[in-house]
Amino acid sequence: MSSQGTGHGGVRGARRRGRRRGRTDCVARRADKHGRGAQPGRMTHFLGTHTNRLDAKGRVSIPAPFRAALRPETGGNATVVLRPSHTHPCVEGWPEREFHALATPLDSLDMFSDAHDDLAATIFADAYPLEADREGRIVLTEFLVTHANLTESVVFMGLGRTFQIWEPAAAERRRAEARERARALKLTLPGGSA
């Protein structure tokens, strides 16, 4: 009798073992602040599009994969900085460290110039640091809800290092426009290899 297709031996067994190995090899990796030394256990980018319910008090659950990316390496609850996008009708979500890094390029502008003051007000004046509760919920301020025209259902859209919160129909339009523009302009990533 051939060992193919029985137990853990043969071709099927090899495939099963390969799949199991593949799962552990594909575990999310976490990098240090310089992007080096990935470690297993935690996503470092916001991926995918997720829909969640916004309740009457402005509470919404951050999607579990996004919470994992936000959670500090020392443990504890996920912390996020939310701000209204100044280019789109949505709310931007930033990990604290990424958000505070915005101060570095801002420091290159003359501190008392109109450019500095305008950008600082745009970036920081309406920013809200929030810590998710044990269930991963945050409370969106009325200002953010109004800015993004949010109602009962919201879409979390992953953008790699950050994410956005959209009204569902607006999110679909934005994704379609982005894909069409990227296709029309034949956009690619510089210097990358597949």
Q: Residues 130-172: pLDDT tens digits?
A: 999 988 999 999 999 999 999 999 999 999 999 999 999 999 9
Q: 33 or 146: whose pLDDT is higher? A: 146
The percent of residues above 70 in pLDDT, for the chain, comes to 76
Confidence of residue 189 (pLDDT cuts 50, 70, 90): confident
Rounded to whole angstroms, the Cα distance separating 107 from 95 reads 20
Residues 6+ apart with CB under 8 A from 145: 54, 58
Lowest-confidence range among 23-32, 115-124, 141-150? 23-32
What integer pLDDT is reported at residue 13 of this predicted model?
A: 45
Distance of CA 150 to the CA centre of its chain: 18
pLDDT mean across residues, the chain: 81
Helix (H) / strand (E) element for 17: namely: helix 10-25
Report d(CA 61, CA 183) in Å as an integer.
33
Please count the other Cβ atoms lying within 10 Å of the Cβ belonging to residue 31. Answer: 12
Domain extent listing, the chain: 1-41, 42-184
Average pLDDT over residues 106-113: 92
Q: Is the pLDDT of residue 27 over 60?
A: no
For the chain, the residue count is 194
Architecture, CATH, for domain 42-184: 3-Layer(aba) Sandwich (3.40)
Q: How confident is the model at residue 43 (pLDDT cuts 50, 70, 90)?
A: low
Single pTM value for the model: 0.74
The residue-averaged pLDDT of 115-143 equals 93
